[in-house]
Structure 1
């Protein structure tokens, strides 16, 4: 067996337990989320608004550019969370801004990812741009037992704040909120996947909450509704299994401090604050320290978050538990010159970049006897 395959299959992490001066071995898995930013193919789909991302569209989106985008994203995914703790690419990758299943098939077939043998869970969402969320998973470690897309039902009348003045940036917003004739705001569904991670049951939710188009305050009720839906899904899972392990990840279009996260989901800053059936958000402390997964209106923030249930922060490592979190922002993914120096390196007129978001990740660990 090759050394690389040995690490991929076993993934042992040695941790020193100072109290007993004992060295224990742990299996480790990386759970990641990445907003792929406009992962569109070059084929016109009459059912969605993809005209901008065609060879004759505003982005002049050619096959060559599309293939480069796929290659760039594959490079990042392959490297997220790798290092001393884990030699393997992420076991789970939640993704957003995905046009269809086909682009995901192209992504996982890239030479950088093909040996990871990713499976795909994807549904088409009713979003007006035709962008969806999805979950990639390594088949050798995770076996889905059920999956469902859960609609976020929100309506224009739900915005009770006074209208804010729309800026030029709002008008040009790629994710501008649109309202249908029935007053519903069609946005991304929540994806819920349940399955076995090396024998342990895990529930994974993938989100892409409504944008801030039209102003943060005006659009906040939509994201607050998304937070409440996450909480409702969690409560439903707990009714079936009070000991369920739940991970909720996504581009929330809100910071860790916003009402949608703090009150809607009920996420806590510190582990000791988390009560039974509660939620811990490791990215809140990271945000307080000035870390960012994106820049919004010239200010850094963490809209990309991974939250874990109380059952994943227990200290019994006989099954998988949360260990630590990070933001993957290597130099090759960062703009080095000009007005946007330090920002994520995204697609431009003369360069096919990566994304306008940095991916985020957590580690799950389990003691191996």
Structure 2
């Protein structure tokens, strides 16, 4: 019997694109955040070199397994969020389970007040980056001041011979209430729509992949308007159930982490990539194993209490084939 992670079952005509919220991936060396004016070294309680290295190795292990059951190989592209600095990405791609895979990364500091950014990991053996650009989002605020959230990252390149665009998102949270914060996510969605329009003005047949923690679910207006306005397909819609999601909060599952694709991935021929499958990567090793939170994401922290887990979110992924 073939093990689900057996390298002997590599499917060369497939590629995986994933997204992972890393839950406050900050370097323990606070000086590396000098270029990030909003970072506070006290954001994580008792964040030590040992705990940091443990988290890096855990995330590297998790990333190395995403999509392996379907493709027999590592993901080609992984969008990330809650990344604190370049240094954590350097450590991640040189960690035990990733260092032999030729992963590179793209990251820029944003004006986000928590000091967390989006980034893109990619396997340079199969994805050639042509261009990358960040887009700043100004948020509506009642006091008249300008607030900022995480930038949107656009990366264009060639995936195993085919031109694609990947757009990485991390929209504002619901911390102050879902309805109270909805205008912020609508603003992010509108900015993303502007980026899609730019790409389609250049090439109406652009193949576009949207990845991110949208802090809204597939049925919410901010996400749904992308599907309806720009003719995107959201394979995550069918994955959300009462007992399954990508993150768990106050006894409820949510599917905030999503990957959407332009419909050009649905209308293709054997020589081009097309959509095959999508899933939440919720393997048992990423879960709490017992107690009242059994089956939920094994977190690094709950509040200020260290747990020693991977992240408070499960990764999500999509597989393309040709």
Q: Does the alignment pair 1:124 with 2:109?
A: yes
Q: Does the alignment pair 1:28 with 2:18?
A: no
CA RMSD, Structure 1 to Structure 2 (Å): 1.9
Q: Does the alignment pair 1:207 with 2:175?
A: no
What is the TM-score with the length of structure 2 in the denominator? 0.91
Q: Which residue of structure 1 aligns with residue 289 of structure 2?
A: 336
Matches within 5 A, 1:1-369: 11-12=10-11, 27-44=13-30, 45-46=33-34, 47-53=37-43, 59-83=45-69, 85-157=70-142, 183-263=145-225, 265=226, 267=227, 277-288=230-241, 290-348=243-301, 349=305, 351-366=307-322
CA distance in 2, matches of 1:198, 1:49: 37
What is the TM-score with the length of structure 1 in the denominator? 0.80
- Which protein, 1 or 2, shows the higher relative CO under an 8 Å CA cutoff with sep ≥ 6? 2
Q: Tell me if the contact between 2:140 and 2:183 (Cα under 8 Å) persists in the aligned partners.
A: no
| Residue 87 of structure 1, CA deviation | 1.4
Report the CA distance shift for 1:321/1:289 in structure 2 as closer, same or farther (over 3 A).
farther
CA distance in 2, matches of 1:350, 1:242: 48
CA distance in 2, matches of 1:216, 1:150: 24
CA distance in 2, matches of 1:217, 1:63: 39
CA distance in 2, matches of 1:317, 1:121: 30
Report the CA distance shift for 1:251/1:123 in structure 2 as closer, same or farther (over 3 A).
same
Deviations 1:295-335 (A, max 9, x none): 12221010000000011111423211111101111111111
Q: Tell me if the contact between 1:40 and 1:50 (Cα under 8 Å) persists in the aligned partners.
A: no
Q: Tell me if the contact between 1:74 and 1:110 (Cα under 8 Å) persists in the aligned partners.
A: yes
**Bigger-Rg structure (1/2):** 1
Q: The residue matched to 1:114 in structure 2 has which SS?
A: coil
Q: Which residue of structure 1 aligns with residue 3 of structure 2?
A: none
Q: Tell me if the contact between 2:11 and 2:72 (Cα under 8 Å) persists in the aligned partners.
A: no
| Residue 31 of structure 1, CA deviation | 0.3
Q: The residue matched to 1:41 in structure 2 has which SS?
A: coil
Report the CA distance shift for 1:128/1:350 in structure 2 as closer, same or farther (over 3 A).
closer
CA distance in 1, matches of 2:291, 2:224: 36
| Residue 287 of structure 1, CA deviation | 1.4
Deviations 1:103-131 (A, max 9, x none): 00000001200111101111111101111
Q: Which residue of structure 2 aligns with residue 21 of structure 1?
A: none
